[in-house]
Amino acid sequence: MTDVYYENIVVARQPIFTADQRVWGYELLFRNKTDLGQAAITNGDQATIQVIADGFDLATASVASDARILINFPRDLLLSDVPFVLPAHRAIIEILETVRPEPQIMEACARIKQAGYTLALDDFVGQQGFEALCAMADIVKVDILNQSPESVLGIVKGLRHYRATLLAEKVESREMFEVCKRLGFTYFQGYFFRKPEIVEGRKLTASQATRIRLLHELSLGADLEQLVRILETDVSLSYRLLRYINSVRFALVKKVESIQRAASMLGRKNLQQWLQVTLLADMNAAPRAQELVRLSVIRARFFQILAEAKCTPFAPDTMFLLGFFSLLDGILDQPMEEVLAELPIDPAVRAILVDPAHPFGSWLSLARELDRCHWLGVQEQAELLGLPLAQVGAAYNEAIVWTDEILGAGQ
């Protein structure tokens, strides 16, 4: 495990997609671990600069180098020099909806644009008084939550004489996604992509079925020799394991070239978890599915860390599987009941995964709020589960670091 920790902040990211559901970029969100309802952003002092610089590095370490990164900037930060610590070719300065287009702000935005940065206006719903910012912005993010297609059309018509690219945010259904595509939006942000798009009669591909069978074997508690046999019959997995064990994470003096040696160094438990993560990542190569894989692994490790601290109703391995399989229906575009029928998991875990009203469903609710970066919701769920916010924040960040190391080095 790397020793990189961020004790003061939680860094989360939300993907932004193109119309063909490819990842275009991410929005980064920072919060204080001890108070997830408040941003860990104060006035433009050195501490704030460090938070943004460190958070940017942490959240972008495992994403494509051409992915754009949006970061929220309230009024005081826009007026400071903080934007200029970020790389202009990647970072997009997002103007919060609470910022008014007063002369100081317009001058600051002009200065930021002159330095080569892209500006985005957040949470626009057609309100009056923001015409100057709409004209200045390169991207306007339209909040379409709970809006009818007719009202979204009205907002779009009002923006047509500006040159800004349109980004639909809070897209929570496939229907609204299709509406926004027809209305001319270029980018899309929201949760519609997490739900399975069920097509009648669809079956798993041969490759997916093979991975499910391997996950089945792993769920039965394979010993180290069995894990080695699985690896040795799959060239791709063997190559990726050697790449992983020889990555900077382990800082080995001598290169490992034997699967047996790599397995022995990791040990059964760590090797099993690496295999589970890698197999899940192989289930569906689509960008939408890969984002779900990352969230699944973060959830798994997050739950496991809390379980190791004896904060959960189940043992660490069981909590890992609860998080690990929690988005499998969306990854495979199959009903959860059908997917789980292929896996020998604990009946208690199965019950939680298929029944949103299950008494232990609050753990998945906590994970969903963290996925969405909905910090007030995180606070509510943490209180319901009796978890200190500082512990939730620390465990979540540790899970992100672990996940990005596993997926980054293992692909």
**For 133-179, how does the pLDDT look when each residue is reduced to its tens digit (9 = 90+)?**
999 999 999 999 888 999 999 999 999 999 999 999 989 888 889 99
Percent of the chain topping pLDDT 70:
88
> Per residue in 22-71, pLDDT tens?
999 999 877 666 666 555 444 434 555 666 777 787 777 778 889 999 99
pLDDT at 298 over 70: yes
**What pairs with residue 140 in β-bridges?**
121, 166
Which pLDDT belongs to residue 5?
Answer: 37
- Sign (positive/negative) of CA torsion 314, 317, 323, 328? negative
> What is the rounded CA–CA span in Å between residue 222 and residue 218?
5
pTM for the predicted model, two decimal places: 0.80
For the stretch 65-107, pLDDT in tens is 899 999 988 888 899 888 998 999 999 999 998 899 999 999 9
The domains found in the chain, sorted by start residue, are 9-194 (3.20.20.450), 206-410 (1.10.3210.10)
Integer angstrom CA distances of residue 214 from 222, 278, 319, 345: 10, 11, 20, 13
* 185 has pLDDT over 80: yes
Q: Write the single-letter amino acid at 30.
A: F
Mean pLDDT of the chain: 85
Instruction: Please state, in angstroms and rounded to a whole number, the distance separating the CA atoms of residues 211 and 228.
Output: 16
Using the predicted structure, report yes or no on whether residue 233 has a pLDDT greater than 60: yes
Q: Is 361 exposed, middle or buried (0-12, 13-18, 19+ CB in 10 A)?
A: middle
- How does residue 364 score in pLDDT terms, banded at 50, 70 and 90? very high
Q: Which residue has the higher pLDDT, 42 or 235?
A: 235
Rounded to whole angstroms, the Cα distance separating 135 from 59 reads 30
Alpha helices (H) along 246-355:
259-266, 268-281, 287-308, 316-324, 328-332, 336-340, 347-354
